A and B are shown apart, each in its own frame.
Chain A
Amino acid sequence: MPDRTDAGRPMLRLRELTKRYRGQDRPAVDRLSLDVAAGELMVFVGPSGCGKTTTLKMINRLVEPTSGSIELDGEDVTHVDPNRLRRRIGYVIQQTGLLPHLTVGANVALVPRLLGWPSARVRARVDEMLELVGLDPAEHRDRYPRELSGGQQQRVGVARALAGDPPVLLMDEPFGATDPLTRERLQNELLRVQAEVRKTIVLVTHDIDEAIKLGDRIAVFGERSRLAQVGTPDEVLGRPADPYVKRFVGAGASLKRLHLVRLDAVPARPFPTARVTDDPALVRDLVVRSRSGSVLLLDAAERPVAWVAADDLTPLPADLAGVGLPATATLTAEATLHDALDVMLGTDGAGVILVDGDGRFRGVVGLDEVMAHVARLHAESRRHDVAAAAALGSAEGAA
């Protein structure tokens, strides 16, 4: 999971930010104050109409604040020239907003050109950005937006927003319009890109799962931009600040928390292994002696090949090639407990095989290990609830 960076100096400081749209008696955003640390990915999440977009657009002044102030990297930008300001703030929207009459390359080049970069530098930057978002520059640079898939267009949108090397990136439901598979891929890519470029990102979504997955911190918005809670995903899930947040986070909060725990947080079990080239008779002895009644076969590079049980070895085959149940359920340590559980439920529940980056066998994680961790999380939450109830009780007693 992404590390917290809220110890750093704030890149963005919103102070008492208020927006009252003309003809509306109640402000859409009401005295919102929030700091976003440099290099932090802050997610705004909340129900429709709570003012997430309005808040975001006040940061790049597409919406002029009625009152309050915005500081960017220590500078008050509430009243500076908005066009100059916007060239320092990347902006990604759900509909991508790519200029359809310009090629992908020209779209990405827009801000660098506005900033007056020399053309050789612009060209190099375009290719660098396309590569960053996983698009082959040679293949995509000269295409038009309509010649790309939705997911590719969204990638170009991100590349374009990063092209001017802005310290801050604003993203308004960037993946809202994509199918679940593409969305997940784009989310993973964003995390990868962010690990590389370390921008200060404010991302709006109304998908709490997306917020949990992407956010270093999450700001849960209530009615009229009331900040119900600002905290790390784990804090929001494990210690919701009030019943509203609890409801918003929804049922299955403990299941969602499994998204936040990497597989290397739980101990992997050693497991009896053998080589595919080993003598079948020796392997049979190993199987008989093993507690689980099976052995994992590895190839020459120590990659898992198959599970073999006693049945697979009677009658004894001449060699072990093709014997047993193919061992396909492998995960690396970066995978989450949620992924592991998913794999276990999808297979026979035996457990997932932990491998390293090269696919070499590292251990097995079973349902027991996952459940033990869940139990720990539960105990923690309960302690928190009890403490919160106690605090509430004493506050009421004092009143």
Chain B
Amino acid sequence: MSFTEWLDRNRDQVRELAIQHADLCLTAVVVAGLLGVALGVLAHRSRLATAAAQAGTSVVFTVPSLALVGLLIPVTGLTRDTVLVMLVLYALVPIVRNTIAGLRSVDGAVLEAARGMGMGPVRLLLRVQLPLAWPVILAGLRVGTQLVLGLGAIAVYVTRIGLGVLIDAGLARFGMPNSVNQALAGTLGVAVLAVAFDLAWQVVGRLTTPRGIRA
């Protein structure tokens, strides 16, 4: 059976798994985004906190994803939550890093002038620092999203959700009829989601980046 034929027959299952996958990853990105920007904002002011936040998030990268899952299972069990926590932890790495880098890249003269005009710290953050750091933060969110979409495929080892289900099944039955089609559908599905999410980020970026600082 050709790939398109196979896809046509299993359309409903593929669509459902893709939606699960997208839902899982979107949730992870939103949570990691809020958490990561908040952490970055808190950390960027002090060199020590910056170092701590960066070291903390980097440690996540050094732990193999399956090992991380293994560590989490005793706490959250074989649930979607375990996967979610793992994905959030990974997504935090680029988001926190970029938030800190973005905030630090804001021109000191701009901050001094804004302060000199009587902007307090909260106003400064919301009206000056975050808007100016936004393109860099956005880049972190994009990288985090890609990371989460790829890693989302290993959710299947915890609980049977997401496009990983197709990849896992295809590989497990390798050599059997349609096993390649199945694995290919899972892999391509992730790629399509990745492209779609990235396009979405580009639209968001376009709409939210002030014209004065657009590249």
Q: A interface vs B, CB < 8 Å?
A: 60, 62, 82-87, 91, 93-103, 110-111, 114, 144-146, 157, 160, 170
A113 to chain B, nearest CB (A): 10
Interface residues on chain B, size class? 20 to 34
Q: How far is the CA of A221 from the CA of B115 in the complex (A)?
A: 26
Q: How far is the CA of A208 from the CA of B117 in the complex (A)?
A: 28
Specify which of A62, A85, A96, A111 is in contact with B109 (CB 8 Å cutoff): A96
Chain A residue contacts of B63, Cβ below 8 A: none
Chain A residue contacts of B210, Cβ below 8 A: 101-102
A152 to chain B, nearest CB (A): 15
> Are A101 and B213 touching (Cβ within 8 A)?
yes
17 A-B pairs in the complex with CB atoms less than 8 angstroms apart: A62-B115, A83-B118, A86-B115, A86-B117, A87-B117, A87-B118, A93-B112, A93-B113, A95-B107, A96-B113, A97-B112, A97-B113, A99-B110, A99-B114, A100-B213, A111-B117, A111-B118
Within 8 Å of chain A (Cβ to Cβ): is B120? yes
Chain A residue contacts of B109, Cβ below 8 A: 93-97
- The secondary structure that dominates the B interface is helix
Q: How far is the CA of A83 from the CA of B132 in the complex (A)?
A: 21
Q: A98-B110, A100-B213 are in contact. List 17 more A-B contacts (CB 8 A).
A: A83-B120, A87-B117, A91-B113, A91-B116, A93-B109, A94-B109, A95-B107, A97-B114, A97-B116, A99-B110, A101-B132, A103-B212, A110-B117, A110-B119, A144-B212, A145-B212, A146-B212
> Are B211 and A114 touching (Cβ within 8 A)?
no
> Are B212 and A102 touching (Cβ within 8 A)?
yes
B residues 77-126 touching A (CB-CB < 8 Å): 107, 109-120
Chain B residue contacts of A98, Cβ below 8 A: 110, 113
Q: B interface vs A, CB < 8 Å?
A: 107, 109-120, 128, 131-132, 210-213
> Are A86 and B212 touching (Cβ within 8 A)?
no
In this complex, the member of B115, B116, B132 whose beta carbon has the largest number of chain A beta carbons within 10 angstroms is B116
> Are A101 and B118 touching (Cβ within 8 A)?
no
Q: How far is the CA of A49 from the CA of B26 in the complex (A)?
A: 53
Q: How far is the CA of A82 from the CA of B121 in the complex (A)?
A: 12
A170 to chain B, nearest CB (A): 8
In this complex, the member of B109, B113, B117, B213 whose beta carbon has the largest number of chain A beta carbons within 10 angstroms is B117
> Are B131 and A101 touching (Cβ within 8 A)?
yes
Chain B residue contacts of A145, Cβ below 8 A: 212
